[in-house]
């Protein structure tokens, strides 16, 4: 997957924790941050769910709309 460079402003204590974790894991700071963001947003779970189904895009959209309508009732 292609990566995009970005700049962020972060609390020094958080950055220090990222650097410590990265050093302990033998990984880069950006890998640790990306993993935390993916985990917090549930992106890994969504990837696993999407890869485990065989619905087409139209079927998946119809199912999502139906679920929305049922929760609004």
Indicate if the alpha-carbon torsion angle 40, 46, 34, 4 is positive or negative: negative
Question: To which H or E segment does residue 28 belong?
Answer: none
Distance, CA of 2 to CA of 39 (rounded, Å): 19
Confidence of residue 13 (pLDDT cuts 50, 70, 90): very high
Asked if the model's pLDDT at residue 71 lies above 90, the reply is: no
Asked if the model's pLDDT at residue 66 lies above 90, the reply is: no
CB of 67 closer than 8 Å to CB of 61:
no
Cut 0.75: pTM above it: no
Asked if the model's pLDDT at residue 73 lies above 70, the reply is: no
Distance, CA of 16 to CA of 36 (rounded, Å): 15
Indicate if the alpha-carbon torsion angle 15, 29, 3, 60 is positive or negative: negative
Confidence of residue 46 (pLDDT cuts 50, 70, 90): low
């Amino acid at each position: 997957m292609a990566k995009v460079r970005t700049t962020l402003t972060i609390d020094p204590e958080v950055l220090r924790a990222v650097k410590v974790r990265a050093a302990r894991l033998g990984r880069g700071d950006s890998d640790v941050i990306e993993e935390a963001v993916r985990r917090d947003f549930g992106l890994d779970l969504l990837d696993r769910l999407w890869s485990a189904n065989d619905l087409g895009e139209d079927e998946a959209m119809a199912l999502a709309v139906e679920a929305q309508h049922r929760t609004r009732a």
